[in-house]
Amino acid sequence: MPDSQDRTAIWNLTDIDPVKAEQIARLRAQAVSDPDGFWLEQARRIEWASFPAVASNSSFEGDVSIRWFEDGMLNASVSCLDRHLADRGDKPALIWQADDTTVSRTLTFRELHEEVCRLSNALRALGVKRGERVAIHLPMVVEGVVAMLACARIGAVHVVLFGGFSPEGIGERLIDSSAVAVITCDTGRRGAKRIPHKVTIDAALTHAGTICAVKNVIVVQVTGDVVPMKEGRDHDYTALVSQQSPACEAEIMRAEDVLFLLYTSGSTGKPKAMVHATGGYMVWAAYTTDLTLAPEPERVHWCTADIAWITGHTYVVYGPLLSGTTTLIYEGLLGWPQPGRWWEIVDRYEVSCLYTAPTAIRALIREGDEVPGRYSLASLRRLACAGEPISPDAWEWFYEVVGRRRCPVADMWWQTETGGGMLCVIPGAQPMKPGWATTPLPGLTAVLTSEKGEIIEGAVEGALCFTASWPGQARTIWGDHKRFRETYFTFSPGKYFAGDGARRDENGYYMITGRMDDVINVSGHRIGTAEIEDALATCHAISEAAAVGVSHDLKGQGIVVFVVARSSKVAPAADELSTIICDRVGRYAAPERVYLVNEMPKTRSGKIVRRLLRKIASNETESLGDLSTLADPAVIPTLIATVKEQNAAS
């Protein structure tokens, strides 16, 4: 690992291309002097049926209204597929590497186009209409990408749901989005395990009951496992699409028509579906991919994210396909069946850009430098990461051991709400700085504010906000514009508040310091404390519950839960509470620890002070800070003693 002097060496890397630096400086200047002209120029990165005359018509004031390119008309699947057919129809668009090392599949742009058209026709034949929602619940298989693009082709709104959500969580999302169809599979593979997709969907539909609008369930055969099929509702994917024509006329959409909903977690309340609009999102996917990942036709781009998350939407599916590059998806697990699996894939397919999450980098570091050392990795030209803060050490490992000091690392800060990258180094145009997401992309106006929402200047730490809209910004929360306005635009009126804290250095570079709200980031997955607490509220044996995030070596953050039993005679077991969380939220929300305590630290108005629970769970009891706001400060020593006792007993 480089010493601190080397860190400066990386910071001062001289691989700056003066032509590129100049080009980016011009972009930044044009975005300021002529924003409309600038954004309309960026809109040319995608294909339009009717090119827009207007760029933004957005306001963060009053009711908050975000609209981009609103007189433009387009279809997202045409930009990703049809426009490449003439030049590179026979070039690979999508490579699928199965969990089984001997199985893979490559689809050219023409083949992917045909698959998408077949499913589009099948969806239309089932009666799915423009504007209706279709849920997708699939592992990393070709049909996941096909399903997203087929929805886009017929103007249906895709709602991709994470395989790890509980049936109850899926049921709630099916009701909230009023999805009319679900595309799922028999079972998925996860290392040696099977993930019961169809059974989960059946349970979710039972949970959702009669208010659910799902009429059709399309089942892809991934493993061939036998699953129950309900006559009249469930359809075998292959039987359905094989009867369909490989040509399908695309529905021409208005730029502001919804392309997809994607659920994410916030501080309070149930998960919310962010609404992304067709034109602006596509422009943002193309613009950010081009600027930061430098995709090239003939090269292979591998973003390891699951398509169920926004990174999968933007940097597995839309961004790379828009640019005509080959996108690779991998069905399996990181170190399965051997620790060098990822590197074997990089070498086998000559991956050029590898985009992953810090949590994966930490797991790879644990395997030892000798594992990537056994592989060539000579095809790599660009590395990227996103989803959570990356430590300078992990950044340097990625740069040194994987990138062999040849490949720039783009640490990209963004969110489900932003649609695509926001803060990111533009490799070749500016120096990198390990652990720093660097600067806003041209056209973005980031500011830091005090806790009161006032703008603060210079090298300071504060709340990260944006003063003006950008094309990829989510338009609203599905069915709840009030929540959208209140969550993002009231902290500092007239600005978008991201929910993250950041530090800015004297060069204007930003480093994300973490969430300022009650969102926990476990291995890059966003989980709201309210989701866990609501799940625990269903357990009659407990009267109070509070979840906090604590630092975790591998996951970034882990969840620790504090509960108060309703009666000392029937104290609930930690395992039982953990199961309730897994059943109601999903396994990815399983807590690291559950502490049974007598009393919670509360303010005089009765609010649980999570800050103190976080400190106690992290064993940082020396620096608890001001306790004078507590209703009863005497609770604290008892709490500390209880936690110590329970730690010693485990």
Residue numbers 257-276 binding ligand PRX by CB under 6 A:
264
Could you tell me the smallest distance in angstroms from the CB atom of residue 515 to ligand PRX?
5
For residue 180, the minimal CB distance to ligand PRX (Å) is 26
Cβ nearer to ligand PRX, comparing 47 with 388:
388
- Nearest approach in angstroms of CB 272 to ligand PRX is 11
**Residue (76 or 310) nearer to ligand PRX, CB:** 310
d(CA 282, CA 286): 6
Integer-rounded Cα radius of gyration of the chain: 24
Please report whether residue 121 would count as binding ligand PRX according to CB under 6 A.
no
State the nearest-atom distance from the C-beta of 262 to ligand PRX, in Å. 9
The single residue among 42, 77, 216, 415 that binds ligand PRX, judged by CB under 6 A, is 415
Cβ contacts of 544-551, under 8 Å, gap ≥ 24: 544/600, 544/608, 546/600, 546/608, 546/610, 546/613, 547/520, 547/591, 548/520, 548/610, 548/613, 548/614, 548/617, 549/520, 549/521, 549/522, 549/614, 550/592, 550/614, 550/617, 550/618, 551/618
> If binding is defined by CB under 6 A, does position 416 make contact with ligand PRX?
yes
Among 512, 520, 613, 636, contact with ligand PRX (rule: CB under 6 A): 512
Min dist CB 113 to ligand PRX, Å, is 28
Q: Is 500 in the site for ligand PRX (CB under 6 A)?
A: yes
Q: Applying CB under 6 A, which of residues 185, 365, 412, 636 lies at the interface with ligand PRX?
A: 412
Cβ closest to ligand PRX, residue 155 vs residue 501: 501
Of 11, 33, 216, nearest to 129 by C-alpha is: 216
Show the 3-state SS of 145-178. Answer: HHHHHHHHHHCCEEEECCCCECHHHHHHHHHHHC
Residue with tokens 């041209």: 442
Closest CA to 116 of 248, 297, 294, 253: 248
Q: Report the greatest alpha carbon distance in the chain.
A: 74
Give one word for 216, left, alpha or beta, with left for phi > 0 and alpha for psi -120 to 50. Answer: beta
**Per CB under 6 A, does 387 bind ligand PRX?**
yes
Please pick, from the candidates 184, 187, 200, 311, the single residue that binds ligand PRX as defined by CB under 6 A. Answer: 311
Number of residues that bind ligand PRX (CB under 6 A): 22
* Dist. CA 262–CA 612, nearest whole Å: 33
Taking the complex as a whole, how short is the minimal distance between the CB of residue 500 and ligand PRX, in angstroms? Answer: 5
Q: What residue type is 35 in one-letter code? A: P
Q: How far apart are CB 423 and ligand PRX at their closest, in Å? A: 7
Dihedral sign for Cα atoms in the order 487, 489, 492, 498: positive
Residue 519, helix vs strand vs coil = strand
164 or 601: CB nearest ligand PRX: 164
The footprint of ligand PRX on residues 146-185 (CB under 6 A) is none
Residues 187, 188, 194, 198, Cα dihedral to 10°? -30
**Toward ligand PRX, which CB reaches closer, 189 or 526?**
526
Does 64 help bind ligand PRX (rule: CB under 6 A)?
no
> Which listed range, 87-95, 113-121, 309-317, 348-356, lies at the site for ligand PRX (CB under 6 A)?
309-317
Q: Interface residues for ligand PRX in 429-448 (CB under 6 A)?
A: 437
Q: Is 414 in the site for ligand PRX (CB under 6 A)?
A: yes
Find the binder of ligand PRX among 164, 339, 389, 419 (CB under 6 A).
389
Count of alpha carbons within 13 angstroms of residue 423, beta-carbon side: 31
Report whether 438 contacts 510 (CB < 8 A): yes
Q: Where are the alpha helices (DSSP H) in 352-480?
A: 358-367, 370-373, 392-397
Give kind and range of the element (H or E) at residue 534. helix 529-536
User: Please, what is the minimum distance in Å from the beta carbon of residue 306 to ligand PRX?
Assistant: 11
388 lies in the site for ligand PRX, by CB under 6 A: yes
Nearer to ligand PRX, 330 or 395 (CB): 395
Question: Which residues in this chain contact ligand PRX in the complex, by CB under 6 A?
Answer: 264, 309-311, 386-389, 411-416, 437, 498-500, 512, 515, 521, 526
